[in-house]
Structure 1
């Protein structure tokens, strides 16, 4: 079979304007809970896309750690490639793809750093190895071989032991959504796409897009 012949006909469900909640965060919560109950692999994994100073996009998988009416949060190294992108251009997009449910959620908006207090609370809830790794890794910086990373980790262990502090360059971001699209796969590629767009007064408008 050639790559061009690989396809799946989606037939599990449908999605209409009358099916969804008036608030997109409530709708996301419903779909996220359904993904968890369906035991979707890595349901909390999302693709984060940023754009650098030269206008070039870049995507990577990160894990959502919290969502509420304020937006969607994840944590990373502020000095990483994505951190540098967001310092230059604070707009980004998120994509969840739950294949078992034949669903996607696309989110666009402006990104802001969360507070130091929120960073500290989450950092100290992480497994010890993850906290040590956050200090050891200079994320996105090149190294000649893995031994350098292992040496950096050894230095962290020697200096801090099992009490590593949160480094100032590590913390969370929150994407404040301006547009959220819920995509349900349908047969013959005639998919359902319901999109929420935030109005200037903070309310949301709901519409349908052609597939």
Structure 2
């Protein structure tokens, strides 16, 4: 009788502990699920199928790339694509993604831009960084986008390997809906293309 009661009490205690563990586990998983549901919201911004404004041309990417004929009837392709990983943050009050764009019109030039999108169909002018540079990183710091890349010295030929670290800080102008370089002159040819 004594053993029977002991078994019943022990069984009840074990069941209670199991129930508490199960409830705690479920609560933990639910919390983790809620966190997982909110944390990557920015990363769901569809930057790879967005439109970007490059030298007054609206470029619509599909899966991170656009390829069109360099000229009517030409077999040469004008290719624009995203290079590297995007950065996510906010510009003003809206979620945004910032990317490096490589624009290859079909000549010898490979023109790099810093671009951003809200993923809502609206475009803003991309910022020219240089020809045949080497992108390093892009990150949001508050309301600014910090762009880092390697460039060449002013007296080096275009065939030289980019080795000079450069940084450009970009801010978002809410009134004009455009990125503005806070460090003008840091990037070679930041005002526009230098030709192929």
- TM-score, scaled to structure 2: 0.27
Structure of greater Rg: 2
More helix by percentage: 1
- TM-score, scaled to structure 1: 0.26
Q: Which structure's relative contact order is higher, taking Cα pairs within 8 Å and 6+ residues apart?
A: 1
